[in-house]
Amino acid sequence: MKKLIYAMSTLMLVVIIISACNKINNPGLIGKLIASKTEVKINEPDSLILVGATLTDSVNWSVVPAGFSALAHQGGKARVVFTKAGNYTVTASKIGGTPGSIKIKVLTDSVSNPSHPIDTVGNPSDTIKLVPLTGDKITLSPGFSQNAARDSVSISFNAKTTKLYCSNGILQYQAIVDYNKNFSIDFVNVREPKVCRGTTDIPMIASPVAMRYVNLANGSYSLKTTLNGIVYSGTIVVSAINITFNWNYTSGVVISPKVLTR
139 within domain boundaries:
yes
Q: What pLDDT, in 10s, does the model give residues 208-222?
A: 887 888 999 999 999
On whether both 160 and 246 belong to a single domain, the answer is yes
- Beta-bridged to residue 224, according to DSSP, are 184, 233
On whether both 40 and 80 belong to a single domain, the answer is yes
Domain stop point among 110, 142, 158: 110
pLDDT at 1: 42
Which positions ≥6 away from 27 have C-beta within 8 Å?
Answer: none
Q: What pLDDT, in 10s, does the model give residues 97-131?
A: 788 999 999 998 765 444 444 333 344 456 888 89
10 within domain boundaries:
no
Q: Please, what are the averages of pLDDT over each run of 10 residues along the chain (262 residues)? A: 35 34 53 88 83 83 82 80 88 85 87 43 62 96 90 92 88 88 93 81 83 91 95 96 96 96 92
Tell me the CB-side half-sphere exposure of residue 41, using CA atoms within 13 A.
8
17 within domain boundaries:
no
Domain stop point among 51, 78, 110: 110
On whether both 187 and 257 belong to a single domain, the answer is yes
DSSP letters along 140-161, please? Answer: EEEEEEE-TTSS-EEEEEEEEE
**CATH, residue 81:** 2.60.40.1080
On whether both 144 and 47 belong to a single domain, the answer is no
DSSP state of 195: S
* Bond into 65 cis (ω within 30): yes
163 within domain boundaries:
yes
On whether both 84 and 137 belong to a single domain, the answer is no
Q: What total number of domains does the chain contain?
A: 2
Three-state DSSP at 247 gives: coil
On whether both 136 and 248 belong to a single domain, the answer is yes
DSSP state of 28: G
118 within domain boundaries:
no
On whether both 76 and 144 belong to a single domain, the answer is no
On whether both 134 and 106 belong to a single domain, the answer is no
Three-state DSSP at 246 gives: strand
Helices (H), the chain: 2-25
What is the extent of the structural domain holding 184? 128-261
On whether both 159 and 214 belong to a single domain, the answer is yes
Q: What is the CA radius of gyration of the chain?
A: 20
204 within domain boundaries:
yes
Tell me the CB-side half-sphere exposure of residue 190, using CA atoms within 13 A.
28
Domain stop point among 59, 77, 110: 110
pLDDT at 104: 94
Three-state DSSP at 34 gives: strand
12 within domain boundaries:
no
245 within domain boundaries:
yes
On whether both 241 and 170 belong to a single domain, the answer is yes
On whether both 178 and 211 belong to a single domain, the answer is yes
On whether both 132 and 106 belong to a single domain, the answer is no
